[in-house]
Amino acid sequence: MKLINIVVSWLLWAQLSLCFSQESIHLTELSHASDDFIIEVTDGDLSLIDGPRDYFTVLIFTSTDIAHGCQPCEEARDIISRVSKSWFADYAESNYLAFINIDLINKPNMNIFQVLGLQTIPHIWLIPPNHSVEYGNPYKILQEGHFDFRVPKANKDEQILAFAQFLSENTQRSILVRTEEPIAKFLKTFLLTLSFILLIKKKGPSIITSTRKKTVTAWFFIGLLLFCIGGYQFTIQQGVPFIARNDKGGIIFVSGGMSYQFGIEVFVSGANYAALAISLVSLVYIGQYKVTDTSVIKNDYVKTALILVNTGVQYLLVSCLTSLILRKDSNYPYPFTKLF
């Protein structure tokens, strides 16, 4: 049975492969031969993309020649490299998109720039498939309609996400941008966290240096936990701004919808959970508190009043939490008092 499944899978793959042109398969092979999956054009030769195309093409016009001093070119290459790696991580054998770099450091490539009359760099084009182009004119692709990506004025992460979104919208393929290798990221985060704790413990204020390591570590991980349940990772993956403003210029503390969340909401949610935890712990503590002649709470009436106040605070905090949820999902079935 297992052998039959293998044979059927192979036959299906063989049939699917026949749907791809030899040119697109060859481009995919060349892409995999590059560290960042970007094919370099040399000697002004565009024969790789001559003729009909059943794939999208990203053309990058740039220069790494020191004499040109093109800093935007270096930045554009970094952006495209991150996205190309993410694309091939998801669509390794799709034969659907090729990234091709035309660099002026290779002098014969100047012919391509002269044909186009380009006076500035960098340029990033996305050229759709075209099945009707005939062979024999490699530069024909330069005359076809294309989508022009302009790098926005933002930080690098936002620029990378913008380029990924640009490709996703025009190729109808979603791209999950990878930041770095998970193991490397974990080790780096772990070492930085450990170094930070040790540094604060040795060189920090006396209130910290005199505190036991176990206590400092516990408080640190409580803070980390609040960041996690507040939606920090979701916010990072979505690449949303930390603070956004409405039409009147006011800060938006809570966005609507389940698929979006501003950075400041991590702190709003985390503070709400922290306040709930503190209130609950204090409620338990007061409930078990023994009233004596020497205790801070002198009688049961004060103790009862504190319990009632704490219970009211608990209700308000839970109402605040459910109000946050209602802003995300108006059909949430278990709300308390809607506060905003």
C-alpha to C-alpha distance for 50 and 138, rounded to whole angstroms = 4
C-alpha to C-alpha distance for 31 and 136, rounded to whole angstroms = 23
pLDDT in the model for residue 334: 81
Candidate from 58-62, 179-183, 212-216 with smallest mean pLDDT: 179-183
C-alpha to C-alpha distance for 210 and 205, rounded to whole angstroms = 9
pLDDT in the model for residue 116: 93
C-alpha to C-alpha distance for 252 and 329, rounded to whole angstroms = 17
- The answer to whether residue 29 scores a pLDDT higher than 90 is yes
- The answer to whether residue 296 scores a pLDDT higher than 90 is no
pLDDT in the model for residue 33: 93
pLDDT in tens, 197-239: 677 666 666 655 566 667 767 777 787 788 777 777 766 665 5
Q: For residue 124, give the nearest of 63, 76, 65 by alpha carbon.
A: 76
Mean pLDDT confidence for 168-182? 80
Total-model pTM: 0.53
pLDDT in the model for residue 214: 73
Angle (CA) 19-23-24 rounded to 5° is 60
Candidate from 38-42, 129-133, 178-182 with smallest mean pLDDT: 178-182
If 0-12 CB within 10 Å is exposed, 13-18 middle and 19+ buried, where does residue 105 land?
Answer: middle
Mean pLDDT over each residue of the chain, to the nearest integer:
82
pLDDT band at 12 (very low <50, low <70, confident <90, very high): very low
Mean pLDDT confidence for 180-204? 67
Q: What single-letter DSSP state applies at residue 47? A: G
**Highest averaged pLDDT of the listed ranges 63-67, 79-83, 230-234, 270-274:** 79-83
Number of neighbours of residue 33 by Cβ within 10 angstroms: 9
pLDDT in tens, 119-159: 899 999 999 999 888 889 999 999 999 999 999 988 888 88
What's the token pair of residue 107? Answer: 């002098």
Mean pLDDT confidence for 100-112? 95
Mean pLDDT confidence for 306-319? 91
pLDDT in the model for residue 191: 77
Phi and psi at residue 52, to the nearest 5°: -65, 145
